[in-house]
Chain A
Amino acid sequence: MGLLQGATELFPVSSLGHAVLVPSLLHWSFKQSDPSFVPFLVLLHLGTAGALLFIYRAQWVELVRSFFTAALRGNIETPSERLSMLLLVGTIPAGILGVFLEHELKSLFASPTAAASFLTVNGFLMLGAEVLRRRAERLAAAGAQTRIEQEERFAVAEQISFKAAALVGACQALALLPGISRSGVTIGGGLMAGLRHQEAARFSFLLATPIIAAAGVLEIPQLLSNPVPLGEYLAAAALAGIAAYLSARFLLRYFRSGRLDPYGWYCAGAGILSLALLTFRP
């Protein structure tokens, strides 16, 4: 489960959807309605957040410093200060929806059918984002010779508007639904905001870190209050972190010229197949 969650968390294929679907399809002994299931997933997310913090450790130090400098000064002067404020604006929508809809969403976690349906929707959302992006590329990137030149016509994360950051944040809130990929919808949202693929991935990873870490920290008391094999859970979290680190390295390289299409087709196909298996299995 740790490897599965870590590998699928940053790939735009919905880790939560897989964490709900795979044990159900393979008849693993996880009880998704168990009170310790969500805290267990959150602990795995903490492993992922740790990997993201490690990858962007220098940038986070700079972002935190820039955030306080800009907040106290009341003015944005550097790209790093702007990015820190964009991340704040992008984090708020998912935070509000996560806190207020927590109970309703937890009941959805128990339903593999809902996860399979949302996974299918996730696939089509990413494919739709790429269709719109190709249209924008045709308008903006006339004369570009290579795919990398084509990408360079688009913005870096520090350049997007606050409205666009709020839009990407709202997309992140969709990921509270099992089956909807956080990275998928935020990368898709980033593309809509005019970011390069690689920058959309970077913004998505930076945006994910505070909310994953906060959700993890808030769920730790619930995890500890249940009789759970904590050692095994922590080992799973460490594996999730390692898998997430390798995934992030791969994806940042892939999105220099790669697109969301393969992940979109995978999610749509896996979602439809899972729905069929869940409906027709004996």
Chain B
Amino acid sequence: MRGNTLAMALVVLAVVFAVVAGLYAVGVLQFLVSDPHASHHYTHAILFGVLAIASLIGANFARSKGTA
């Protein structure tokens, strides 16, 4: 049960990371970037994309596995 709660939290986190990645990619987010005038921040977008994937992997590990 606790594992499922953690898994759900990690899925939510993954969604947040994915949204942030998208915002960096289209240039809406300018937080902690080297060139605020650039229209895209692909490095930041890739980082948050990787964090989203890592969170999803964490969620898959955390969820309770049913016994067959």
Contact = CB atoms under 8 A, between A and B. Distances in A.
Interface of A: 71-72, 74-76, 85, 88, 92, 95-96, 99-100, 102-103, 106, 214, 218
A71 B63 CA distance: 12
Interface string B29-60: 00011100000001110110011001001001
Given A100-B32, A218-B46, A92 B51 contact: yes
Nearest to B61: A74
A102 B50 CA distance: 18
7 contacts: A72-B60, A74-B61, A74-B65, A75-B61, A85-B57, A100-B32, A214-B46
A95 B50 contact: yes
A96 B50 CA distance: 10
A106 B63 contact: no
Interface secondary structure of B, over-half rule: helix
A74 B44 contact: no
Contacts of A95: 47, 50
Which are the 6 A-B pairs with shortest beta-carbon distances?
Answer: A103-B34, A74-B60, A71-B57, A99-B47, A100-B32, A74-B61
Given A100-B32, A106-B34, A75 B65 contact: yes
A214 B43 CA distance: 10
Nearest to A219: B43
Quick one: which of B51, B60, B65 has the most chain A CB within 10 A? B60
Contacts of A214: 46
A218 B43 contact: yes
Given A74-B60, A74-B63, A100-B32, 13 more contacts: A71-B57, A74-B61, A88-B57, A92-B54, A95-B50, A96-B51, A99-B43, A99-B47, A102-B34, A103-B33, A106-B34, A214-B46, A218-B46
A233 B60 CA distance: 43
Contacts of B32: 100
Contacts of A72: 60
A175 to B, nearest CB: 17
Contacts of B60: 71-72, 74
From B42, B43, B44, residue with most partner A Cβ within 10 Å: B43
Contacts of B63: 74
